[in-house]
Amino acid sequence: MMSNEELFAFVKKNRLAVACGVLSVGLALAAYYRGDGLAENQAVLDQKAVEGRRLALNLKNAAQLDEQLAAVSAAAAEIKPRLVRVDELANNLQYFYKLEAETGTRLSQLQQTANAASVARWTKTNPKAAFVPIGFSLSVEGEYPALLDFLRRLENGTHYARAVAASVNILKPDRSGPYVLQLNVELLGTP
Amino acid sequence: MLSLRRKKTDAAVSQEPPWHPNFRNFERLPDTKVVRTAFFINVGAIALTVMVALWFAFQEYQLRDLRLQIDAWQQEIDRNKPPSTRAVAQFRKFQEEASRIQEINTFVTARPAVSDLLVQLGQTLPANIAIDGLELRDTGLRLIASVRGAPELASGHASTYLAQLRANARLAEWFEQIELQSINRNQQTGRLVVEYLLKTKKEKGAKK
């Protein structure tokens, strides 16, 4: 075991080497403890880079979003007046009577087949749907061009419509007209 | 003649006491080597210190570089975050509106337009065939027609019309299988009455 005097003498004799040794140990310890920060900072950098790239991509993809949103919003604004409501029976049937008057056909039968209960059931089974189809059943009589006009006005008219079932038959065997069109049709509406 | 003086062996030499006392103190004598040992120790220590210092400096450089990159990304994030948040909100609204429009489009296009079907059938109807009636259902379209002419010729017209229906590209958009279901003679008119069945495509038939 080295005594204090011997140690002091050793240090005095090898001043430079001891100083270098002490400095090396100090630097090694500092590097060891600060080495953890390297991994942590790398992890932070990776996270920031991912977030930064995501935000940059969002902005790049949103370059024309204002115009697109305006166009879609304008289109969506036109939808509302074209929808029917299940509880507005008189207005709904009036739509078909107007078509009858405009096309010169005759509605021999017309009824709304959907009601509040059926709409509620449909909404329950289709919770994500924004709209609900409102069913109607009707029979229209008229000459072939008039019936075709009725169909065209119905399918491309104010309300969104689609025929679920249809049948066209001629009333007289000699084909002298008139024709009868039976339709199960759905108009798009709101619950 | 043998020499009287005999050679001393090595053992004898080592056992021999020195011929005079050795007063040298080796610890206090200077290092007489060409390059002193202390030089090598110092050089080694300095080299080690330099290497450790370089390692430490390189690590510090890496840390500083990482911090600079983090700061740069953070600045970009801070700059882009508000417009990005606004864009995300706008996109959600866009998706919502677009899904409503898509729902309407699906509703309208899920079934064939009856008026278009009538026009298509009317435009492609042969002169010797007349449609008596048609019935559109989920499963398909039933088409009843009368064929003019003698029965032996009329059945040929019915087959020709079947081939024509099958070749119709517009009808093929909605119907996948077109069959002649029946041929009967109308006793009153004497004409053949034929019934065609156009089966709705499976992906189109499902109610949406």
Taking only the tens place, the pLDDT of each residue in B47-105 is 999 999 999 999 999 999 999 999 999 999 999 999 999 999 999 999 999 998 999 99
Q: What are residue A135's DSSP bridge partners?
A: A186
Assigned CATH for A83-190: 3.30.70.60
A-contacting residues in B 144-183 (Cβ below 8 Å): none
- What is the signed CA dihedral for A144, A148, A153, A159, rounded to 10 degrees? 110
Mutate to test the interface with B, among A11, A27, A143 (most CBs of B within 10 A): A27
Tell if the CB–CB gap between B108 and A162 is shorter than 8 Å: yes
Taking the CA of residue A113 and the nearest CA in chain B, the distance in Å comes to 17
Taking the CA of residue B16 and the nearest CA in chain A, the distance in Å comes to 36
Q: How far apart (Å, rounded) are the C-alpha atoms in residues B110 and B205?
A: 8
Tell if the CB–CB gap between B98 and A17 is shorter than 8 Å: no
pTM of the model: 0.70
Residue B17 is given by DSSP the state P
pLDDT confidence of residue A59 = 92
Partners of B70 on chain A (C-beta within 8 Å) are 41, 44-45, 48
State mean pLDDT over A140-154: 93
Check: CB of residue B149 under 8 Å from CB of residue B190: no
Mutate to test the interface with B, among A11, A45, A99 (most CBs of B within 10 A): A45
Tell if the CB–CB gap between A45 and B56 is shorter than 8 Å: no
B88-103 pLDDT per residue, tens? 999 999 999 999 899 9
| Interface confidence (ipTM) of the complex | 0.75
Nearest to B100 among A34, A68, A79 (CB): A79
Task: Indicate the residue type of B175.
Answer: F
List the single residue in A with minimal CA-CA distance to B119.
A148
Query: Does B70 reach chain A within 8 Å, measured CB to CB?
Result: yes
Taking the CA of residue B193 and the nearest CA in chain A, the distance in Å comes to 13
Residue B7 is given by DSSP the state P
* Nearest by Cα to A131 from A83, A68, A171, A62: A83
* Nearest by Cα to B141 from B101, B105, B113: B113
Taking the CA of residue B54 and the nearest CA in chain A, the distance in Å comes to 10
Tell if the CB–CB gap between B94 and A38 is shorter than 8 Å: no
Domain range annotation of chain A: 4-63, 83-190
- φ, ψ (nearest 5 deg) of residue A173: -70, -20
Tell if the CB–CB gap between B134 and A168 is shorter than 8 Å: yes
pLDDT confidence of residue B2 = 47
B138-173 pLDDT per residue, tens? 889 999 999 988 877 888 889 999 999 999 998 998
